[in-house]
Structure 1
Amino acid sequence: MVAPIKTALLSLALLVSTPIALVQADEPRPQHAIAMHGTPKYSAGFDHFEYTNPEAPKGGTVRRWALGTFDSFNPFIIKGTPAAGVGQIYDSLMVKSQDEPFSQYGLLAESVVMPEDRSWIRFKIRQEAQFSDGKPVTSDDVIYSFKLLREQGNPFYRAYYADIETIEAIDDRTVEFRFKPSQNRELPLIVGEVAILPKHYWQGRDFSSPGLDIPVGSGPYLIDSYDPGRSLTYRLRTDYWGQDLPVNRGRHNYGQIRYDYYRDTTVALEAFKAGEYDFRQETSSKNWATSYNGPMFDNGEILRDEIRHSNPTGMQAFVLNSRRPLFTDSRVRQALAYAFDFEWTNKNIFYNAYTRTHSYFSNSEMAATELPDAKELKILEPIRDQLPAEVFNQVYRAPNTDGSGKLRQQLRQGLRLLKQAGWQIKQGKLTNAQGQVFSFELLLVQKEFERVVAPFIRNLNKMGIDVRIRIVDVSQYINRLRSFDYDMMVYSYGQSNSPGNEQREFWHSAMADIQGSRNLMGIKNPAIDYLVDQVISAPSREQLVLRTRALDRALQWNHYLIPQYHINSYRIAYWDKFGMPDTRPLYALGFDTWWMKSGTDNNEGSQP
């Protein structure tokens, strides 16, 4: 679907034509929704998504928190630090349901027309769709948005939409996308996810620079007020054009959403318990085990819950920058993994809260957990000579231990690999034939993560490796990732139930040298490129699963990173101010379907 030949990224051919006949005898019929595979769950004329409450009251102020600071209301570029929640001011042509793997329903688009081969798609924009300044949303806005994002936006957009050949305005409310012959079945859906920007607002402005001018959008919220870098408040639009659409009934219920920024996560947690904000999703197992207690929890003022989900948990890992000469050899990358003792860490630091991650698509049917079967081997055979032999005869498992903290055997395995790669311990330091000492920097953004990496670093030190920790603030961290200025860092690659074009952004050679891309490891591998293209062009759900497993194996056995751990539930805590639907979505937390209960302390301004 929320990455050895470097192809030229062509600009969109943006055409505005005179009106032509919209429906030909052999054209498909307009639809209210489209699915990646199969048929959308909700039929035409549905009233609301099952996981929403269409009678939910609207109003009140929900207070949330964010880490660091912000200096921009433009989340589409690689400069600046965008404000939390700013995407809420925009609408897209389609909206994804949260209880299907990948189906989309009309939002700005009233209907869609798409042939069976998915070589093009045509959107009919709703007549009532308008921006917050009252101007209508038109085909020109759609065309302008794609032109702007691909030419001046984050490099992600150029990769994600590389297979769009033309966009044509059929009339003021009808826009047609035509695609290159690439069998990219996902493309019609993902063009529907793009935030549509107002041409009349951005024309003449510098889109490529961050700034705090409040932009115009067509979404349910407006930026109401802000204190630069410290807080901002969104206000629900009383004139929101789409509030009664089936896809929106029971959503967007908060009258105001306020974000307060904290520079320190420990301070932020204490602020939550003091009632400074209302909702928190916890990512620290230590905090979850030890800090969510006290009178406000005992008397029910604050509630806590663990909600299981059906999402792939992706890959959180120590990411190695293979652009660095130190990490170009896969044997070196593999060797370092033996120094991470997950079992000891989970028991002594994480309160046994986590599961070891082995797959880039963990917690899903797309994870490669068994040897490839005949159908998958058919996918892998054309590139057999470009893949590690283990892809075909072993199931990848990250190194494991007995949890005792005694790693002599594992560290010896790592040192054997390092010796094969030309490194030996001399006078206590790992050194190569040129006399270079093995030394690198581990980049972190959260000070609290030091306790996680400390045992890992101690084990690396036992291998003669010198590691320095560098902790930077959020803005500097973002900038260093964008410019690939790191040796090793911690990163999490999220995945969806329908992998697709984002895999090009993550792993494809074409993105390795484009600053701001998410090919953070610097992968340049023809076999990976081939498998990414196979995933994107998968003609069925069965083939998507098989091709993603093949990609998973290739990534695993090239040892681009050191897998960490995952959890398949949301850990949440919230003050008892919320109502929520009886049915939860399968593939999301669904916080936008909650509402503020009447009579709560910060429920001012109900019915905004």
Structure 2
Amino acid sequence: MPRFSPAIFALLCACCFAGPGFQARAREDGARITHAIAMHGPPALPADFEAFPYADAGAKTGGVLKLGAVGAFDNLNPYGVNAGSTAQGLIGPVYESLMARNFDEPFSLYGLVAESIETDDARDFVTFRLDPRAHFSDGVAITAADVVFSFNLLKQHGRPQTRAAYELVAAVTTPDARTARFDLTGADDRELPLILALMPVLPAHALSEKAFSDNGLAVPLGSGPYKVLEVKPGEKLVLGRDPDYWGRDLPATRGFYNFDRVEFLYSRDDNSLFEAFKAGLIDYHEESDPHRWARAYEFRARTRGDVLVEALPVGGPKGLEGLVFNTRRENFGDPRLREALAMMFDFEWINANLFDGLFTRTKSFFDESDLSASGRPADAEERALLSPFPDAVREDVMEGRWAPPVSDGSGRDRDIARRALKLARQAGWRMVDGALRKDGRAFAFEIMTQSRDQERIALTYAGQLRRIGVEARVRLVDEVQFQRRRQKFDFDMTFALWQASASPGNEQRNRWSAEAAGREGSYNFAGAREPAVDAMIAALVGATSRERFVVAARALDRVLLSGFYAVPLFHRDRQWVAYWRRIGRPDGLPRFAQPLFGEALESWSLR
């Protein structure tokens, strides 16, 4: 599990502007100028809202926050396609987007660099009006030219999913120096205005295409509340408060970015990071190891009350982490065989013996939410949506009855092994001389891992597969090789995490569409090429109401589950955190994100 929330979460927790006198205005063509936008329905907060519900507007300011990270970093560009390992803490504190997300709603954005947004009912265009106070940390005003520059730069040199979304834009114009208009005619994508609203605003006067593509260690220039003060490549990054930050008095900045200085200290591994936390060298530690969480937190500072620990409930859908099958490989072409292999993952034994029983088995790509198909029979609307694809969803999945098998916990459940071999025989594979064979060829493949924790899980799974005659070789590779091979789909099976939000959308194309299956660098690791998947994604991003959106999400979940593209692993329903008493968090927690989010702990402060 990642130590920090994904970079996008840090971007989204930035704050927003809406003056007390701001009122939404409608034109005759149905377009509306307003302070916020929601994916479905109206945004929850009015134009004169005081603060996000989970922010402490009266938080104490000042002091230093020391955070830790595992590994190293070799660049300061979180948006480049060729970035290796980017330093933590840049998105949000240094770089700002046009608008920002309220994590108390499924998907609603409020003004930040842009003070207002305009779009029509069909969402055939979106216009952003910039806050006249907005400027970069060097004092240069942000203009519409910077917005256009950022769009073109990211469209040409950004990450694959960014480029794919921006390609849908027909044209960009600047009616005046503070206004940028995006023509979305023909895109047929209701999420696209929100994706554009989350675009970072980069300085046209201080950033070249070459510098952006180099992904180097040059100090970045942003418009956020912090500047980069110190860089020690691979070891340390220090951010300092910008005394001239333009957004310090915006209503929605209250309670965010409270420390004068934020330091990120890098450690070689989790154990070193934990020891640094115990010694007081860092202030906060998010735990990912269940064994350590259960057994290692009774150290002296904890027992005397200087260190606090919390297990906070995680809101919103739980994504799916799994061992993904590369269906581009001939061995994995038959979903019956993929199901047979997935059945042999003995979660009950692994959870009890490796993880102190602290994990929950994942059953859906949107688990524990209203978007999940697990435990829910498809209703008439879902069935109608899926009707053009009668073979795409299995009956037990359609009826909501499917779930991963539950073993007896022995690690040698014979009934499950018999069922798996029966499925393998249906796919043409038979046990011969202790090996699963087809046309005389023994079934063997490689599981690629990038960490000792992954290796331990993979080795256990490989042992379970040997019981049905499958030889799974486990290979541990370094971070660079792991990322390169995943980008080129050069693997048989590997670990993948499909994170979920309360409003899945265009990222599903990059994960599952037929187009993404043939595009190197996409997240379609499985190589899925299923027309029903593409159709459900189109229904998802085209949904005009939350009700239709939920129908499409559940239908997509059913198609993906029926395809057995991955061995579903497990998740935590709690965020495990420990911190020194000198810092504290607000009482309120967001409903649709991890309780504590953002690489720089934006809502925290000194006590």
TM-score by length of 1: 0.91
Partners of 1:505 and 1:55 in 2: CA distance: 41
Q: In structure 1, the residue corresponding to 2:448 is in which secondary structure?
A: strand
Q: Name structure 1 gaps, 5 residues minimum.
A: 3-21, 599-608
Question: What pairs with 1:15-54 in structure 2 (closer than 5 Å)?
Answer: 26=29, 28-54=31-57
Aligned residues of 2:153 and 2:209 also touching (Cα < 8 A):
no
Aligned residues of 1:396 and 1:557 also touching (Cα < 8 A):
no
Partner of 2:294: 289
Partners of 1:206 and 1:582 in 2: CA distance: 42
Partners of 1:595 and 1:573 in 2: CA distance: 13
Partner of 1:122: 127
Partners of 1:156 and 1:30 in 2: CA distance: 28
Q: In structure 2, the residue corresponding to 1:145 is in which secondary structure?
A: helix
1:84 is matched with which residue: 60, 77, 88? 88
Deviation at 1:432, TM superposition (A): 2.2
Deviation at 1:407, TM superposition (A): 1.6
Deviation at 1:131, TM superposition (A): 1.1
Moved more, 539-548 or 483-492: 483-492
Deviation at 1:416, TM superposition (A): 2.0
Q: In structure 2, the residue corresponding to 1:332 is in which secondary structure?
A: helix
Partner of 2:219: 214
Is it true that 1:597 corresponds to 2:570 in the alignment? no
Is it true that 1:203 corresponds to 2:208 in the alignment? yes
Partners of 1:436 and 1:231 in 2: CA distance: 52
Moved more, 588-597 or 231-240: 588-597
Q: In structure 2, the residue corresponding to 1:205 is in which secondary structure?
A: helix
Partners of 1:496 and 1:24 in 2: CA distance: 33
CA RMSD in angstroms comes to 2.0
Deviation at 1:485, TM superposition (A): 2.3
Partner of 1:420: 426
Partners of 1:518 and 1:279 in 2: CA distance: 31
Partner of 2:145: 140
Partners of 1:347 and 1:354 in 2: CA distance: 9
Is it true that 1:539 corresponds to 2:544 in the alignment? yes
Q: In structure 2, the residue corresponding to 1:297 is in which secondary structure?
A: helix
Is it true that 1:179 corresponds to 2:184 in the alignment? yes
Question: What pairs with 1:425-436 in structure 2 (closer than 5 Å)?
Answer: 425-433=431-439, 435-436=440-441
Instruction: From the superposition, tell whether residues 27 and 409 of structure 1 become closer, same or farther in structure 2 (CA, over 3 Å).
Output: closer
Q: In structure 1, the residue corresponding to 2:33 is in which secondary structure?
A: coil
Q: In structure 1, the residue corresponding to 2:240 is in which secondary structure?
A: strand
Moved more, 502-511 or 462-471: 462-471
Paired amino acid for 1:89: V
Is it true that 1:515 corresponds to 2:520 in the alignment? yes
Partners of 2:167 and 2:404 in 1: CA distance: 34
Question: What pairs with 1:156-167 in structure 2 (closer than 5 Å)?
Answer: 156-167=161-172
Instruction: From the superposition, tell whether residues 496 and 204 of structure 1 become closer, same or farther in structure 2 (CA, over 3 Å).
Output: closer
- State, as a whole percentage, how many aligned pairs show the same letter: 38
Partner of 1:7: none
Aligned residues of 2:146 and 2:203 also touching (Cα < 8 A):
yes
Is it true that 1:401 corresponds to 2:407 in the alignment? yes
Q: In structure 1, the residue corresponding to 2:229 is in which secondary structure?
A: strand
Deviation at 1:233, TM superposition (A): 1.2
Deviations 1:200-232 (A, max 9, x none): 222352433321111211112222111111221
Paired amino acid for 1:427: D
Deviations 1:268-296 (A, max 9, x none): 22222122211111122111111111221
Deviation at 1:487, TM superposition (A): 1.6
Aligned residues of 1:363 and 1:568 also touching (Cα < 8 A):
no
Deviation at 1:241, TM superposition (A): 0.9
Partner of 1:63: 66
Q: Name structure 2 gaps, 5 residues minimum.
A: 1-7, 9-24
Aligned residues of 1:313 and 1:363 also touching (Cα < 8 A):
yes
Partner of 1:19: none
Deviation at 1:40, TM superposition (A): 1.6
Question: Number of residue pairs matched?
Answer: 577
Q: In structure 1, the residue corresponding to 2:260 is in which secondary structure?
A: strand
Partners of 1:28 and 1:415 in 2: CA distance: 59
Partners of 2:213 and 2:336 in 1: CA distance: 41
TM-score by length of 2: 0.91
Partners of 2:402 and 2:167 in 1: CA distance: 32
Partner of 2:14: none
2:498 is matched with which residue: 493, 498, 502? 493
Question: What pairs with 1:153-552 in structure 2 (closer than 5 Å)?
Answer: 153-203=158-208, 205-369=210-374, 370-388=376-394, 390-393=396-399, 395-433=401-439, 435-552=440-557
Q: In structure 1, the residue corresponding to 2:368 is in which secondary structure?
A: coil
Deviation at 1:578, TM superposition (A): 1.1
Structure with the larger RCO, 1 or 2 (CA within 8 Å, 6+ apart): 1
Deviation at 1:153, TM superposition (A): 1.3
1:110 is matched with which residue: 98, 115, 135? 115
Partners of 1:584 and 1:391 in 2: CA distance: 34
Instruction: From the superposition, tell whether residues 439 and 263 of structure 1 become closer, same or farther in structure 2 (CA, over 3 Å).
Output: farther
Partners of 1:208 and 1:429 in 2: CA distance: 49
Q: In structure 2, the residue corresponding to 1:254 is in which secondary structure?
A: coil
Instruction: From the superposition, tell whether residues 507 and 197 of structure 1 become closer, same or farther in structure 2 (CA, over 3 Å).
Output: same
Partners of 1:438 and 1:221 in 2: CA distance: 54
Deviation at 1:165, TM superposition (A): 1.8
Deviation at 1:458, TM superposition (A): 0.9
